[in-house]
Amino acid sequence: MKEIDITEIEGFVFGQKESEDHHTGCTVILSQDGATAGVDVRGGAPGTRETDALKSENLVQQVHGLFLSGGSAFGLDVGAGVMRYLEKAGIGFDVGVTRVPVVPGAILFDLREGDQGMRPDAKMGFKAAASAFEHSHLKQGNYGAGAGATVGKGKGPSFSMKGGLGHYAIQIGDVKVGAVIAVNCFGDVINPETGQIIAGLQKDGKFLNSEEVMMSQIMEGQTNRFRGNTTIGAVVTNAKVDKPAANKLADMSHNGLSRTIRPSHTFVDGDTMFFAGAGKVTCDYNSLGVMAVRAVEGAVLNAVTHAKSTKSFLSAKDLQ
Give CA–CA dist 150/97, Å, rounded.
44
Task: Collapse the DSSP code of 251 into the 3-class scheme (helix H, G, I; strand E, B; otherwise coil) and give the result.
Answer: helix
Quote the pLDDT of residue 220: 73
Quote the pLDDT of residue 227: 63
Q: What is the enclosing helix (H) or strand (E) of 202?
A: strand 202-203
What is the full DSSP assignment across 90-108?
T-SEE-SSSEE----EEE-
Quote the pLDDT of residue 163: 97
β-bridge partners, 4: 169
How far CA 113 is from CA of 24, 165, 223, 228, 303, in Å, comes to 13, 22, 20, 11, 24
Q: Examine residue 120 and say whether the peptide bond preceding it is cis (omega within 30 degrees of 0).
A: no
Entry pTM: 0.96
Quote the pLDDT of residue 80: 98
Nearby residues of 221 by Cβ (< 8 Å), 6 or more positions away: none
Nearby residues of 164 by Cβ (< 8 Å), 6 or more positions away: 140, 141, 142, 143, 146, 147, 149, 182, 183, 303, 304, 306, 307
Question: Is-contact 105 67, C-beta < 8 A?
Answer: yes
Q: What is the enclosing helix (H) or strand (E) of 197?
A: strand 197-199
pLDDT digits (tens, 9 = 90+) for 1-59: 999 999 999 999 999 999 988 899 999 999 999 999 999 999 899 999 999 999 999 99
Q: Which residues of the chain have a pLDDT value below 70?
A: 113-117, 221-227
Give CA–CA dist 243/248, Å, rounded.
9
Sign of CA dihedral 30, 121, 183, 148: positive
The pair phi, psi for residue 280, each rounded to 5°, is -100, -30
Q: Which domains does the chain have, with CATH numbers?
A: 2-319 (3.60.70.12)
Quote the pLDDT of residue 303: 98
Question: Is-contact 303 157, C-beta < 8 A?
Answer: no
Burial of 222 (0-12, 13-18, 19+ CB in 10 A): exposed
Q: Interior CA angle at 108 toward 266 and 285, to 5°?
A: 70
Give CA–CA dist 40/250, Å, rounded.
5
pLDDT digits (tens, 9 = 90+) for 110-126: 998 666 668 999 999 99
